[in-house]
Amino acid sequence: MLNKVHHVTYVVESISDMAAYMEKSFGLKPISTDEFTERGFKSILYRVGETLVDFFEPLRDDTNVARQLKATGPGVMHVAWGVDGIEDAFKSLQESGNKMSGDAPATSPFGYKTANIETGSSHGIHFQLAEGEPA
């Protein structure tokens, strides 16, 4: 079912500071910089090999991004595992006893599909599955 690391998402205080660090330290430039006002965060997105790496900066205090940053400081928010056939994977996970977020896979703000396993089903670990490429 899992076929690669699709993306890794970090929460940070400042995406502009991270962009400067990533370019200075690794010579990387973002493939996109976005502000998702309705979702309450700004992001920068990189491609490292076949894996996407994104950094989220909260815009408001009432978001999961802001709560995680306040609780744990900067760091990994989640790792998303690539799958083919995300709808079938979603159903298979439900059938094997996992509680899933929502009734079906969702579309990320970047345009690819995602599915999340509730942490109560996965020993406290946030598992996200993803399929597709950024729009």
Contact at 8 Å (CB) between 42 and 28?
no
Structural domain including 92 reads 2-131
What is the pTM (predicted TM-score) of this model? Answer: 0.89
DSSP 125: -
CATH number at residue 81: 3.10.180.10
pLDDT tens digits for range 81-106? 999 999 999 999 999 999 999 999 99
pLDDT tens digits for range 16-33? 999 999 999 999 999 999
The rounded distance, in Å, linking the Cα atoms of 69 and 27 is 26
Overall domain count for the chain = 1
